Structure 1
Amino acid sequence: MTTVNNRLHAARTKLKKGMVTTMQDTLRAHRLPDDFAARIGWIVRARESVVEARFDPVALPDVLTELAVSDESRQRAVTLQVVQRLGNGIVRCVATSPISSLSPGMTVMSAGREIAMPVSRESFDRVVRLLAASTLAPGTLVPTGIKVVDVMCPLVAGGTLAIAGEWKAGTAVLLEELVRRLSGGTDRISIFTFVPGGGTMTYREMMEREGYSDGTVGAVQTFFFRREEGPWTPESLSTLAGVDVVIRLSQALGQLGIYPTVDPLTSRSRLFESDRESLTRFAADAPAHDVTASRARKLWRFFAQPFFCAEPYTHRPGVAVSVTDALRGCREILDGAHDEVSEQAFYFTGGIAEVLAAAKKTQAP
């Protein structure tokens, strides 16, 4: 009998050790992340597809972060994307999946990663109306000092702007430059930036490395959206009809060395739609002796301009050009007043006076 009891005891001990080992292995495999508690927040406000949630201020989710809300009544999870970080530990989010029954007090969980699913372009107009105040001064131009913006796609006081970014087209650089130039003014601008994917670091990591801002600064408030895959087309740009201005950035222009990479042919402003015919003459197969094509190339180069936020990389001081000087330069170029000036003299400079000074310098013996 003693021998049987001893064997049973040994078997129980062995089984217990095996169960402990199995439980330890299971817990290790499915352990909660160390920052699990910091990823928990709760809804403080919900309005249609826009949700505001509160988190620990020291662990505030970054813009573009994916969040999930458990809609227990419908037994489903609602996916949110952080589009703006506010004060007091609050983030503003947009739903990327159907939403109908979210309410204050519901628990929100941060996935701790950037979202892959973009907000549909079909719902963008509604999101703009919910996030941005209506235009305060219809028809009033807000000068930025950026030639291509002020001439081809001017901003509207109290209005909205969508930056249609492309990979390696300087999306963050243009946004930061606009924030720095406009935040100290009195004309409120709401900027909706479509951020391309494909980078080796998160958007937040890049912003921190460059020292860029990611929220409302003075008169400017910014919202960040993950853009859909594929190039911007006339059809996809037309879905951004809910904003006053669309600035489309072009990787192809960056490859030509034209910065900022604003494409004047596909960017637009509701203030006016300029005649862009001259720029369309700029083509790779345009004859070198074609006067109109030469003027168009000069105009493209004239739109290239040093930025303040890019000074550490360009080693050129940022330049601000008045609307009057920018328009004068464009008119003189298109009228042929500077046909004898080399195309290179127009590149990456300020107003037309600087262009002529650069041309004179290169001609000096």
Structure 2
Amino acid sequence: MVVFSFPIPVDDLPPLRQKLCPCPGRGMRCPRHRDVHPRIFIVRSSESHFPAVGCGRARGRQKGTDDGGHFPFLARSPAGAGHAMSHAVVTAVRGPVLDLRVEGELPAINDILEIPGPAGTVVAEVQAHLDAQHVRAIALQSTQGVARGGTARIPGGPLSVPVGEAVLGRLLNVLGATGDNGPALPADAPRAPIHRAAPSLASQTAQTKVFSTGIKVLDLLAPLAQGGKSAMFGGAGVGKTVLVMELIRAMVSGYDGISVFAGVGERSREGHEMLNEMRDSGVLDQTVLVYGQMNEPPGARWRVPLTALSIAEHFRDVEAKNVLLLMDNVFRFVQAGSEVSGLLGRMPSRVGYQPTLETEVAELQERIASVGQASVTAIEAVYVPADDFTDPAVAAISAHVDSTVVLSRQLASEGIYPAIDPILTTSVLLDPGVVGVEHATVAGRLREVIEHYQELRDVIALLGVEELGREERLLVGRARRLQRFLTQPFFVASAYTGMEGRSVPIAETVKGCKAILDGDCDDWDEGSLYMIGTLDEARTREEARRAKGKAA
């Protein structure tokens, strides 16, 4: 045991605190004082004295004078004031992971550090306290040019980004910097931190108002709740991004609201195309684009959804506007979190995901809520790896949504667009008390018919439809006509398809499906129902086909 002596009686001292010495450890020589010392030293300060002991020798200070020698974090502060916190020194660089020695009080978890580099300032977010002087941070930008010995500024607090009217029509990155070659944002633009708690249960408002999209299959089978969360699950190349873009157009053109789009870990080409298409279609002025592309560090892709969500929360809470928040792709958010977890040395869980998977998803999803008279309606695209819907990331995300939209690769291969699976697609709003008895009844009948048709597909493939009974042949015909009636051309894809987009009211969708289920269209050609809007348009096409046949 090491015995220390103080300039005042020990009995007069309050209980002492122990701290770890920053030197290498017991039995090592202190580089400043050149003597062997124990690993633990004792610290105590008050208004009348500041005894501090370390490095094997007792050092006392009277009247609150500073001790800025071997232990700079022991510097005395004025009464009631916190420790000064100004800078840190980079001690290790491992890709996007930075270790730093802090000269002062340690920054809190999720606080940012600013490290000057040859290509500009690199922003990193603190993720771990290694000991009393060292922190580990994840860079939100490339660390190229950052070296050991470099200094970092500690501004204090988490990352804050610009919000409000100034960001409308602009393309931002995770830090809130513009990326569209436009003018700089106003210096007095309000800012908001990206980390904040979810709204309390008492402040949230439950809404059952249906958000009409004009997309027949969505409005009929998976009505979206205004102020709710909906997710579109599908593998690669089945139409998730096109569906998201069409929903943006529907929100901006049909509602007095704001759209915030978060591009999480997607292709730069898609982001460029979306920016140009929104500008050409005139919806960009009421939209904010926040991108963290797949070529960016995992920290940027991990925090981009929070940047977009903070912007949406400002419009909801401060300006009382309804917001449509679209995220493409939430799976990339989970994937980036897995990369960060591995870089920080955490033990992976199932399938290599981070052990905090459920927590990270919940922290993001629970902030999406309706407060007061304004709402945030979230529509999320979720990539399903290898079309495996039992993947832990997919299961974690699906637990938080009100409407689940499943896109089918088989339907896409058959030319059924949007390729939404009518059996697996569900919504909590598909209830007679919300959508009405007729709507709920028609949706249930449609599912039964299509499910029966899918059961008969193997028999048809082996024996042919002629081997079925009369009732089954009628059912197969109605199922195929329903599938084609639920297709429609999108406005955002008109430049590629050559067909003008269609937006169909919910009442017309229910009316058309009911007519097909009742057999009113049994003698119609299936092609008359393909890629149209209302049933009246299909009737016109069918009459033209018959007239052409008679003329021939």
Name the TM tier (shorter chain). Answer: 0.5 to 0.7
In the alignment, the residues of structure 1 paired with residue 486 and residue 109 of structure 2 have an alpha-carbon distance, to the nearest angstrom, of: 41
Q: Distance in 2 between matches of 1:325 and 1:358?
A: 17
Q: Is the 8 A contact 1:184 1:219 kept in 2?
A: no
Summarize the Cα distance change of 1:86–1:173 in structure 2 as closer, same or farther, 3 Å threshold: farther
Q: How does 1:31-110 map to 2 (within 5 A)?
A: 69-71=125-127, 73-74=129-130, 75-78=135-138
2:327 pairs with 1:223: yes
User: How big is the shift at 1:191?
Assistant: 8.9
In 1: Cα distance, 2:499 partner to 2:489 partner: 6
Deviation string 1:192-233 (CA, Å, 9 cap, x unpaired) is 989797x6x554244346447635697312233224622142
**Contact 2:113-2:124 at 8 Å conserved across structures:** no
Distance 1:53 1:355, change over 3 A: farther
In 2, Cα distance between equivalents of 1:288 and 1:333 = 20
Deviates more, 1:171-180 or 1:207-216: 207-216
Q: Which residue of 2 aligns with 1:18?
A: none
Asked if the contact 1:142–1:156 (Cα under 8 Å) also holds between the matched residues in 2, the reply is yes
Runs of 4+ in 1 over 6 A off after TM superposition: 51-54, 79-82, 87-93, 131-135, 187-197
CA distance in structure 1 between the partners assigned to 2:483 and 2:127 by the alignment: 52
Cα deviations by residue, 1:291-349 (Å, 9 ceiling, x for unpaired): 11111111111110011111111111111111111001111111211111111111100
Taking structure 1 as the reference length, the TM-score comes to: 0.61
Determine the structure 1 residue equivalent to 2:451.
280
Residue type matched to 1:223 in 2?
A: M
Q: Which residue of 1 aligns with 2:414?
A: 256
1:320 corresponds to = 503
Tell me the distance in 1 between the aligned counterparts of 2:256 and 2:448: 31
Provide the secondary structure at the position in 2 that maps to 1:219. strand
Q: Are 2:249 and 1:145 aligned? A: no
Cα 1:152–1:339, aligned 2, differ >3 Å: closer, same or farther? same
Q: Distance in 1 between matches of 2:172 and 2:113?
A: 6
**2:381 paired with 1:204:** no
1:250 CA displacement: 2.3
1:130 deviates by 4.3
Deviations 1:74-107 (A, max 9, x none): 343448799x9966789797xxxxxxxxxxxxxx
Aligned to 1:167: 236
Structure index of larger Rg: 2
Matched residue, 1:118:
none
Shift of 1:181: 0.8
Measured against aligned partners, the alpha-carbon deviations of 1:243-284 in whole angstroms (never above 9, x if no partner) come to 221222223222111111222222211112742221123444
- Name the counterpart of 2:155: none
Normalising to structure 2: TM-score of the pair?
A: 0.42
Opposite residue 279 of structure 1, the aligned amino acid is I
SS at match of 1:332: helix
Shift of 1:177: 0.7
The answer to whether the 8 A contact 1:302-1:348 is kept is yes
Alignment gaps of 5+ in structure 2: 1-107, 142-158, 178-194, 280-286, 291-311, 316-321, 333-382, 432-442, 467-472
Say which is worse superposed, 129-138 or 150-159, in terms of deviation. Answer: 129-138
Counterpart Cα distance in 2 of 1:209 and 1:267: 31
Alignment of 1:9-20 (within 5 A): none
Equivalent pair of 1:306/1:349 in contact (CA under 8 Å): yes
Instruction: Tell me which amino acid in the other structure corresponds to 1:307.
Output: F
The residue identity in structure 2 corresponding to 1:288 is: V
1:17-63 CA-to-partner distances (Å, cap 9, x unmatched) read xxxxxxxxxxxxxxxxxxxxxxxxxxxxxx999x9999xxxx9xxxx
TM alignment of 1:279-318, pairs within 5 A? 279-283=450-454, 284-285=457-458, 286=460, 287-289=464-466, 290-318=473-501
1:340 to 516, 523, 544: 523
Q: Give 1:163 shift.
A: 2.1
% identical aligned pairs? 29
The structure 2 residue matched to 1:245, chosen from 376, 390, 403, is 403
Task: Name the CA distance, whole Å, in 1 between partners of 2:162 and 2:420.
Answer: 27
Q: Structure 1 residues 282, 344: CA separation in 2 closer, same or farther (over 3 Å shift)? A: farther
What letter is aligned with 1:171?
A: K
Residues 302 and 347 in structure 1, CA contact (< 8 A), matched pair in contact too: yes
Once residues 241 and 169 of structure 1 are traced to their aligned partners in structure 2, the CA distance between those partners, rounded to angstroms, is 22
| Aligned mates of 2:408, 2:200 — CA distance in 1 | 26
Show CA shifts across 1:148-171 (max 9, x none): 011010111222221224311121
Native 8 Å contact 2:113 2:126 kept in 1: no
| Distance (Å, rounded) in 1 between the aligned partners of 2:225 and 2:129 | 44
Q: Structure 2: how far apart are the matches of 1:170 and 1:360?
A: 32
CA 281–221 in structure 1, closer or farther in 2 if over 3 Å, else same? same
Asked if the contact 1:248–1:266 (Cα under 8 Å) also holds between the matched residues in 2, the reply is: yes
2:214 and 2:229 map into 1 onto residues whose CA distance is: 18
- d(CA) in 2 for partners of 1:196, 1:291: 46
Matched-pair contact (CA < 8 Å) for 1:254–1:261: yes
Give the 3 Å change call, closer, same or farther, for CA 323–234 of structure 1 in structure 2.
Answer: farther
Query: Could you tell me whether the CA contact under 8 Å between 1:248 and 1:262 is conserved in 2?
Result: yes
Structure 2: distance between partners of 1:324 and 1:296: 20
Q: Aligned equivalents of 2:476 and 2:243: distance in 1?
A: 27
Instruction: Provide the C-alpha distance between the structure 2 equivalents of 1:347 and 1:281, rounded to a whole number of angstroms.
Output: 21
